[in-house]
Amino acid sequence: MSQHFSLDTRSHTAIHIVKGAVVKVLGAKWSTSAYSSRGHGGLTVQYDRKPSEEEIQLIEKQANIKVQENQQIEIYEMSRKMAETRWGQEIYDLFPLPIEIKKLKIFYLPGWNVNTCGKEHTLSTTEVGAIKIKKWRFRAPKRFLELSFDVEY
């Protein structure tokens, strides 16, 4: 029996899962921002062209395959130096982390997503629930791809 997680926790965890799918489908590695609230979430990544509708559908499909896999999420607390040695710059987003921060919390879903993150997460991917991409847009001048989604039961 799995623990009950709040919608906030589920939609936040979904960001990591969607991000992994975005990297898998488009190769877009750098997040510029992310948000989640209740059952909604959004992610903006840097990308150099407008994706096709099929690619967006594939991102949603890959994210939900990952949800169904019920993969365990690993959380680590370690020195910044150790984390950088293990995963390199992949743990960071485009927004900088202050230099004085020496200890990091790491979200790690092996083979899918690694990111420095101090927020609450579900223990496994299935606890997030189904992910539905509701809207997306590509902002050409900034090369930003914005995705927003809902988590559903």
Q: Where does this chain bind Zn ion (CB under 5 A)?
A: 107, 117, 119
Cβ closer to Zn ion: 29 or 143?
29
Q: Which helix (H) or strand (E) holds 151?
A: strand 144-152
Give 96 or 141: the residue with its C-beta nearer to Zn ion: 96
Amino acid type, 87: W
CB of 105 to Zn ion, least distance (A): 9
Of the candidates 69, 71, 56, 70, the residue with the CA atom closest to the CA atom of residue 21? 56
Shortest spacing between CB 135 and Zn ion, in angstroms: 22
Supply the minimum distance, in Å, between the C-beta of residue 120 and Zn ion. 8
Residue nearest Zn ion, CB atom distance: 117
Q: Whose Cβ is closer to Zn ion: residue 26's or residue 128's?
A: 128
- How far is the C-alpha of 8 from the C-alpha of 120, rounded, in Å? 9
CA–CA gap between residue 99 and residue 95 (Å, rounded): 12
